[in-house]
Chains A and B, each alone.
Chain A
Amino acid sequence: MACRCNANGLPHIGGQARPGELLPWTTLRGASSSVTIVAPAALWVDAIGYREAVFGFEFREYTSGLQVVLQTAPVDEEDAFVDLVTHSASSTSVINHVVVAESATVPLMRYVRWKITHGSTAWATTLRLFAAFKRTR
């Protein structure tokens, strides 16, 4: 099965998975509340073979109310993605979210991507995202 690693080399399917950056330091801005930015397909992560994951969110700046959503899908098609983790920016420290296979409302599926949105205003953020995929099947 072909590997689809993202531009940051995450994860390394077929070898030893290395936790790393899902998104390196990046500044993004939305001109209004209707603006949502979704990771381009080249940055989607193929997490096949992994059941669980830990995701880290770190901000240098953010508009209050900003949300970063991690989505997952069984296939790499736009309409297949569903929300996996929703994180509301609230701190500049690294905040972790753990996705456990046995208890997750939405379990980790094959592909993972990020989405940034704000429900009520123009927004800006400088952030980076981490991921550590765990426990091969």
Chain B
Amino acid sequence: MAQSSFVLTDWTTVAGQGSSTQVVQARPGWIQVGTQSDAVWVVEIKQRVSSPSVYVQTAYIDEDSVFQDISRLATISSHLYISRLATATTPVLGWLRWRVGGSTGSWSTTFRITGVLKNP
């Protein structure tokens, strides 16, 4: 499996209340990573109220507690992320998913995440 593109999520809007609220992608949408060591992904945020952050996470196994953040975007923008096994603190492991971390008051954000898994 040399390369494969993915849509971690098409345009979606997530909303919540309070900084302790986070929304995690539902399990069926998580992407399983094969033997690819590198990844490139784009996080696009088109709308946000208050200041939520959009994170991409990775984990060895599909267990909630072991996911680790590998990117965070908290502005209305489009940002390209590059993860190389040779240099990343946390490379792409076995699974990918997104989560949104809330902020004070009522918050919302509209975003999309697409990318490519590849070997060098």
Contact = CB atoms under 8 A, between A and B. Distances in A.
Given A16-B1, A21-B60, A131-B60, A96 B90 contact: yes
A134 interface: yes
B116 to A, nearest CB: 15
Contact of A19 (B61, B90, B119): B61
A103 interface: yes
Main secondary structure of the interface of B (DSSP, over half): loop
Interface residues of B, number: 22
A134 B35 contact: yes
B1 A52 contact: no
A114 to B, nearest CB: 15
Nearest to B63: A21
Interface of B: 1, 32-37, 60-61, 66, 68, 85-86, 88-91, 93-95, 119-120
17 contacts: A16-B34, A17-B35, A18-B32, A19-B94, A21-B60, A21-B61, A50-B35, A54-B93, A56-B66, A102-B86, A132-B60, A132-B94, A134-B37, A134-B85, A135-B35, A135-B37, A136-B119
